[in-house]
Structure 1
Amino acid sequence: MKLNLGFGKDVVEVNITETNLLGVLEPNRIDLGLSGQEEVKRAIRDPIGTQRLKDIVKKDEKVVIITSDITRPMPSKVVLLEIVNELREANVELKNIKIVFALGCHRKHTEDEKRYLIGDELYNQIECIDSDGQDYVNMGITSSGTPVDIFRPVAEADRRICLGNIEYHYFAGYSGGIKAIMPGVSTRAAIQANHSKMVKDEAKAGEMLHNPVRRDIDEVANFVTVDYILNVVLDEHKTIIKAVAGHYLEAHRKGCLFLDKLYKAEIPERADVVVVSPGGYPKDINLYQAQKALDNAKHAVKDGGVIVLVASCIEGFGEKVFERWITNAQHPEDLIEGIQQNFELGGHKAAAIAMVLKKVDIYLVSELSDETVRKVFMKPYTNVQTALDDAVKRTGENSKIIVMPFGGSTLPEVVASGENLNSVRTIGVEV
């Protein structure tokens, strides 16, 4: 069976014996309703687990709205307009509203970037500020030892509203919810304590209830009240296709369930070999970006198997801290130990790759030099067919193979027989 995979701005072809092919995983097909601003309005009119926002907030209360920084795809200007309109209906004066960009450990914005994120209308009327990890209030410590150090304007507000988008997060399970608070407006020490739990087995994409990172994040709500959230799910064009609003846990969980219907792909068992592409340019422009597809693919492969990662990586590593961590490591274990001792953004993705390498071999089909690929502890290839043939030689001629053409947005999940499994050649069903 011949299959095409995105590779940079081109496609590459791979031929797989049909008796070996366990499945081709693609996003599920689901019926969508409203989209964009109209979907945001619908969610605000129909909150989950709370009253409408206009009935929660009182006229003279100080309100902070926490939203994502410029590194995230969150369409803040669309959502903020509707949130502010709702606050106006509660007769909240604009001088009592503050918009806070959740930087986590990221750099500060320029004023032009702030204006771009929230739009001219709101920028000219409402104070908008970056979070600052040096100006915080300690509000306690979680049961797993994470200090609840919250940016002072957020900690001292009467009402807190969290915005964000929901997508799979490779060690927090899902983005969104009160992730806007932790790590969004928390200190570096707090983020370090929380994110160091990423090395635990249950700290993985699509895992919520048993995920130590996510449980720690959600526990922060015991110390700092979140009055309301509005989260969105975006399609590949960054269009809002689902919005959920209301209670910080109940609404978030509904959004996560929608994401699962769209992007979770059921498989009957793990494969010996997984061939995965991020989907081509720009998702495979560098190794830093391609890591997301690799991390999703790990859920479809047996321990001791092989992942064939098909990613151009024409621009190399893609992030300086990530590159420094990888090039300074002598063994994958160095990266895992290092991130536990000193969490650093960029280094965390290097550690995530190392965690995959603990369980499987990675054959990288790319435009990187062989020397560079070996430096990241992978086996270099320039041809996907050669890489797959070598993988099958290692795992056996009867090896089962799964192909993930859109690895960055498809999350495999093993479902036992009788649990609504749709295990035909292409696993993608009407929901």
Structure 2
Amino acid sequence: MIKIPYSTKTLKINIDNKNLKGILISKAHNYKVNESQEYIVNRALDNPIGSERLEDLVKNKNNMVIITSDHTRPVPSNITMPILLNRIRKVNPSIDITILIATGFHRPTTREEMINKFGREIVEKEKIINHVSTDKNDLTNVGVLPSGGQLILNKLAINTELLISEGFIEPHFFAGFSGGRKSILPGIASAETIMANHCSEFINSNQARTGIIEDNPIHRDMLYAAEKAKLAFILNVVIDADKKIINAFAGDRRLAHEEGCKFVMELSSVKKIEADIAITSNGGYPLDQNIYQAVKGMTAAETTCRKGGVIIMIAACNDGHGGKSFYDNVSNAKNPRELLERILNVPRNKTIPDQWEIQILARILNDYTVIMVTDLCDPSMIENMHMKHAKTFEEALKMAYNIKGEKAEVVVIPDGVSVVVSD
């Protein structure tokens, strides 16, 4: 019996021993800590890496902005945000604090989602604003990225006296790792800036892959954006399969993030096991809410599944496709190969919305059959996007065996976004 996260539940699946070649699990899932989540966060804030303490930074400041992740990220802000606010106000009770939600290119976070994320008290008492990447009135140009794209960021963040961020670090399918600099780009960047950074040339780079930040052109742009925004301090946590904090890193935007990435790499690195069928998930809620996000989990399966194999993606997708441009471009394409070739010829400054996700999905669909397992999404939406649909895992496995044969070798990645699969 193998447990797979699905929405807010867990699916229990069975694979015959004669087919099962292995299970790839991040060590973070079984990483045990004796301290409370609050203690771990406070310890990190008491021992910042390459930076003054947060309390020293907020002294004599009139205002500040705290960037936080949006509803698609399982950052335990109900733990971290109260600690940050308490520590800040203890030394500077009158400071004007704005919490800026780094939506990137996503839709705004709803009030209900804010309450679920922060708790009702913070939502009712604090000033919380959604970043909107297309609202030119809220944006300002602060320079040019190393890649040549315009660096346009949220005015609130640029004009504040002190800018800090909270987030979490996990493997990321083209930025190497989440966290740190990503709170700026794409977090509070304009649509134009995000699209320049997420261009087809960079997405196609072999360095723009899970677990890689060295020589990663996307990471390089992001670091530059964080520097230009004067991101003064970060608090990034690492979480387990239950979304509980197992470690935290605070301090300098680059140094603290790099230390966190090293820790995550040690836990999440798994050796690939080649198979004909790869089963994966997006780690359940909130990352498996739509097809757009589910592409991330597919990339873990892509690295271990033989070309021409089958990827079974278990994701609720209860929020639908996750992006109109994403859906329209994939569903209107004649086939994945045609779509991929078209995107690879798009110049850096002509990137379209969601092109990066379209490109990666097209890359996967070009080499694999993808079966999406969900009973919470319109099957026709999935099928229109050149994937197969199964209402249950058992149905999907039967379909996969019909394609690859009853003796097909199977590997399972219970949480595809938590691992770095390497040779």
Q: Same fold (TM over 0.5)?
A: yes
**In angstroms, what is the RMSD of aligned CA positions?**
3.4
Letter in 1 for 2:92: V
CA gap 1:62/1:262 in 2 versus in 1, 3 angstroms: same
Q: Deviations over 1:256-277 (max 9, x none)?
A: 222223322123xx62524213
In the alignment, structure 1 segments of 5+ residues that lack a partner are 415-431
Aligned pair partner of 2:330 in 326, 332, 335: 326
Deviation, 1:405, is 3.6
CA gap 1:354/1:148 in 2 versus in 1, 3 angstroms: same
| 8 Å CA contact retained: 2:141, 2:151 | yes
Deviation, 1:251, is 1.1
Letter in 2 for 1:80: M
Equivalent residue number for residue 176 of structure 1: 179
Equivalent residue number for residue 81 of structure 2: 80
| 8 Å CA contact retained: 1:7, 1:280 | yes
Equivalent residue number for residue 63 of structure 2: 62
Equivalent residue number for residue 45 of structure 1: 46
Deviation, 1:217, is 0.5
- 2: distance between equivalents of 1:109 and 1:309? 29
Letter in 1 for 2:178: S
**Equivalent residues in 2 for 1:234-383, closer than 5 Å:** 234-267=239-272, 271-278=274-281, 287-288=291-292, 290-302=294-306, 304-311=307-314, 318-319=321-322, 321=324, 322-336=326-340, 337-338=342-343, 340=346, 341-345=350-354, 348-358=356-366, 360-364=367-371, 366=373, 375-378=384-387, 382-383=395-396
Please identify, of 69-78 and 111-120, the stretch whose mean Cα deviation from structure 2 is larger. Answer: 111-120
Please identify, of 199-208 and 185-194, the stretch whose mean Cα deviation from structure 2 is larger. Answer: 199-208
Choose 1 or 2 for highest CA Rg. 1
Q: Deviations over 1:89-127 (max 9, x none)?
A: 4x3243433222222223334556556644455456543
Equivalent residue number for residue 152 of structure 1: 155
Q: TM-score, normalised on structure 2?
A: 0.81
- 1: distance between equivalents of 2:358 and 2:317? 18
Letter in 1 for 2:385: V
CA gap 1:80/1:315 in 2 versus in 1, 3 angstroms: closer
Deviation, 1:227, is 1.0
| 8 Å CA contact retained: 1:10, 1:280 | no
Equivalent residue number for residue 131 of structure 2: 131
CA gap 1:33/1:227 in 2 versus in 1, 3 angstroms: farther
| SS of residue in 2 equivalent to 1:213 | helix
| 8 Å CA contact retained: 1:12, 1:384 | no
CA gap 1:201/1:279 in 2 versus in 1, 3 angstroms: closer
Aligned pair partner of 2:422 in 386, 398, 413: 413
- 1: distance between equivalents of 2:107 and 2:151? 21
Letter in 2 for 1:412: V
Deviation, 1:293, is 2.4
- 2: distance between equivalents of 1:76 and 1:314? 23
- 2: distance between equivalents of 1:71 and 1:373? 20
Q: Deviations over 1:24-47 (max 9, x none)?
A: 212324342424222111111111
| SS of residue in 1 equivalent to 2:363 | helix
- 1: distance between equivalents of 2:155 and 2:5? 46
- 2: distance between equivalents of 1:137 and 1:285? 31
Please identify, of 277-286 and 136-145, the stretch whose mean Cα deviation from structure 2 is larger. Answer: 277-286
| SS of residue in 1 equivalent to 2:86 | helix
Q: Percent identity?
A: 28
Q: TM-score, normalised on structure 1?
A: 0.79
Equivalent residue number for residue 106 of structure 1: 106
Equivalent residue number for residue 194 of structure 2: 191
